[in-house]
Every structure is written in structure tokens, then in C-alpha cells.
Amino acid sequence: MNLTITELREKLLKKEISATEIVNYYLKRISELDSKLNSYITVNSEESLEKAKLFDNNFNKYKDRKLAGIPVSAKDVFSTKNILTTCASHILDGYKPVYNATVIQKILNQEAILLGKTNLDQFCHGSGTATSYYGPSRNPWNTQMLPGGSSGGSAAALAADLCTATLGTETAGSLRLPASWCGLVGLKPTYGRVSRYGVLAMGSSLDCPGPISKSVEDSAYMLEIIAGHDINDFTSSESKVPEYSKNLDISKIKSLKLALPKEYLELELEGGVRKNFLNSIQILKDMGVNIEEVSILDPAFAIAVYTITCRSEVSSNLARYDGTRFGLEGSKNGNIKEYYESTRGEGFGPEPKRRVMTGTFSLSAGYADEYFRKSEQVRQLIKEDLDKVLSKYDAIVAPTTPSVALTDKDAENPLFGELADVLAEGSSEAGLPGITIPSGLSNNMPTGIQFIGRYFDEQTILNLAYALEKQVGRLILDTGKI
């Protein structure tokens, strides 16, 4: 129970346990617990068992593959060949892609076992899974609370030990927020570090796939598998992918200089979030890290930019879902004309409609200069501001989110996501890498601390997170209380 990839892999290679036993363990847990969590949309029971048996029967052939025999899940925004891919939306009823997303193909090439596809906010529009067509996921630490989002189903499944690791995506906090609220490690790579090919697009200039894991070492391990150039994604970087997990080194954090934006501390932070963050800062200082307060642009600008830029890209990306290419299988009578006329109205939920309308307005003739272009100009200022800070410091440190997990009632606020993600939005808009790890508990709910790094310098923030994790420890949920 609660083993990491590296721990489980060691047992597999020593033949202390078989892949079939592992998959049966997880499938049993999913059947027992997921009715309370709603973390999975699709569970690949038969396929997972078949692949586990294939590994066990051909151990010597597959043992050197990095994820051989390891059951993982993936947010239902990644295209998976012949496996239902819904993006948690009614409009994609019955949609089974004919190809795998690059990230999915990379983990399958390493013989990972894909347990299933996890729940999310519909088309990633939200920060708690509250907008999912399949209903919200629940936080395993307290099922009255949301797990965060949009990768909330992934985080909920992992926190409840319904998989060994999981994949999500981030547009402006959607990896770091749910990881923080569920007591996990969430790694958002540099934009372009990981291919977006086969990821159902939300905001194309922002979307970034990444891992959510039980440990920093697992996140580093997953990143070195999924990162790299992809000829199918012209935004993917050709820079060499380091062996992040082998390069983890606590000694390298000594004498690093970290910037702590005072504007983040001036926000209304929940008491436990602030207390645990300041405790972690002291631990870092005791380990030889230099931390200085700095000033950055008001985080409210990041909220404004995200509200305009992301919604503008949403309106463009969702235009392709016209009912003739997607969703036809969900039609009761197969009448193309009838389904075409109804699918965008009935297929999209309230939140995608709001975002499409806002984005379309921002891009419309007469308003594009006033809204979208100005938003992009401010986004450039945010990028330059953070670049200036990172030219003098090795990384930025901050709380991950202002609060612990919130409720369905909180999610009714149209700006719920922007407010929950305020501490991550600016770095996502700038394309910077970030990682969150648990900093402790507040009222028995997890809190998080994040490190934001320079472009393609994931190693430094991984080392910082790894060193702090050794001092603070992992948060492991007693899943018997779910």
C-alpha cells in the first residue's frame, strides 16, 4: 500500500511480487473506494490484467523498461487509442481516438500499465472537477471537499492509492493545485518540455502535461520518460532531456538564492497554509538556502490575463466540436442534422459555454485590440518581470495555493479557479517550470509549498523539493477513513 514507482519497481525486479498481483490490488481498491471518490471515468480492467500477465510471462524481455509492470492513470484529456476519451464532456460521448497522445505512447513504450482515465473539469474548465459532466470527484482526505482541478480526478485517485502515479495537464495551476490539496507532488514542466500532441487543447499557448506523484523522485523519473522533442508538436523543445531522477542531489541546494515575492504573502492566506509555509522556509534556511523577499507585479494582473487570454484560446479550440466529427455515437437516433443542431447546446456544460462566449467577445471585431491584444501585452510584462527576478535568483518560492481544499459551494463562484490558482497563474503564463510538495496539514487537510524555476531548469527545483521532502516527509493518507 502507498508504494512509490521506485519502491514498487524494486519489488517487481526482485520478484517479491508480480505485476498481476499489483494490478489486482489496484482494481480491487478502485471497486471498493471509487464509488465514494468518482476519480475514474474509465477503468481498463481487462486490458490492464492482460498486460500484467504479459509482463509476468516475459519478465526478462520487459524488466529493463522503466515502467514495466507499473499501473498508472491518466487524465481523460489525453488521446488514448481505442479507449474512451471524453474530456469529462457530454459532447464527446462514445469518442475513441485512433491514436495515442505522445505522452501516453511514451509511457506505453516503457511498458506502463494504463489502469484508466481520470475525471477532470469539463475540457479542463475549472479548478475542482465541479464542472465535470460525470460529476465532481471527492478529496480522499475529506470527501466533503473538492480535490482541486482541473486534474482533480488524477490527484484523488493517487492520494487514495488507486494507482502508482498519474498524468495530468496544467494551463494555470491544474497540476499544482490538486496535488497540493491532495497532499501530493505535482510537477509542471517548462512549456515545450513535454509534447502537447494528442492532448485535447484548452489554451494552446499555456497547456503543459506533467506528472502527479507520491514522491519527488517519482516526478523526476516520470518527467525524464515523457519529456523531449516531438515532430508532431512544433512548440516542443529540442533541448536534451537530463536524467532528472539520477541527478537529484541535496548537496546542490546549499547557497542557492531563492526569491520570496512579498505580494504572495500579502494575499489572504489560510492560517495553516501560512504557518506551514513559514516553517518550511525556516527549514530551507537551516539547510543553507538563502531566501530574500522581492517585489513582483500584482498577482491580480495574472488573473486578468488568464481570464482573457485563456478564454480566447478556448473559444477557438472548442470551435472544432461541431457534432459532425465528435459525439455522433451519443446520438439516440443517428440523425446527423438533428445531432449537429443540438450537440453544442446540450453537449457543452455551463462553464465551457461561459468561456466560449467570453473568448469570442474578446476576439470579436472592435474588441480584440481592447481586450485580447492588451492581455497579451500584460502577459509579456509578467514574463519579463519574472525573468528579471530569476536572473538574480535560482528559483522562486511561494505557497502553492491560498487555502486548503474548498467545497462545491465555493466552486459556484465564476472566478473560483482564478482565485484558487492565483499563486501559480503568473508562472504558467510565463511558461516557467514549477513543482509543489506537501508542507504539512491544516485542520487535517494538506497544504503545499512550490518552487518556480528558470526555463528548462527543472533540475534545480527538483533538487530543492527533494531536499525539503526529506525534512518534511511525505503525506500518506489513511485510506481506511474514506
Q: Angle at which helices 19-37 and 45-57 pack, to 10 degrees? A: 160
Report the distance separating Cα 440 and Cα 449, nearest Å: 9
> Strand 395-399 and strand 290-294: pairing?
unpaired
Active site residues: 75, 150, 174
Q: Angle at which helices 19-37 and 5-13 pack, to 10 degrees? A: 150
Dmax (CA) for the chain in angstroms is 68
**Spatial contact of 250 and 470, defined as CB atoms under 8 Å apart:** yes
Domain 5-297+382-481 classification at class level: alpha beta
User: Exposed, middle or buried, 368 (CB in 10 Å: 0-12/13-18/19+)?
Assistant: middle
Taking CA atoms, 167 is separated from 101, 117, 258, 313, in Å, by 12, 10, 28, 23
Q: Give the closest residue to 314 by CA, choosing from 171, 425, 193.
A: 171
Q: Would you give per-residue pLDDT tens digits along the chain (482 residues)?
A: 899 999 999 999 999 999 999 999 999 999 999 999 999 999 999 999 999 999 999 999 999 999 999 999 999 999 999 999 999 998 888 889 999 999 999 999 999 999 999 999 999 999 999 999 999 999 999 999 999 999 999 999 999 999 999 999 999 999 999 999 999 999 999 999 999 999 999 999 999 999 999 999 999 999 999 999 999 999 999 999 999 999 999 999 999 999 999 999 999 999 999 999 999 999 999 999 999 999 999 999 999 999 999 999 999 988 888 655 665 444 555 555 555 545 566 678 888 888 888 888 898 888 888 899 999 999 999 999 999 999 999 999 999 999 999 999 999 887 788 889 999 999 999 999 999 999 999 999 999 999 999 999 999 999 999 999 999 999 999 888 89
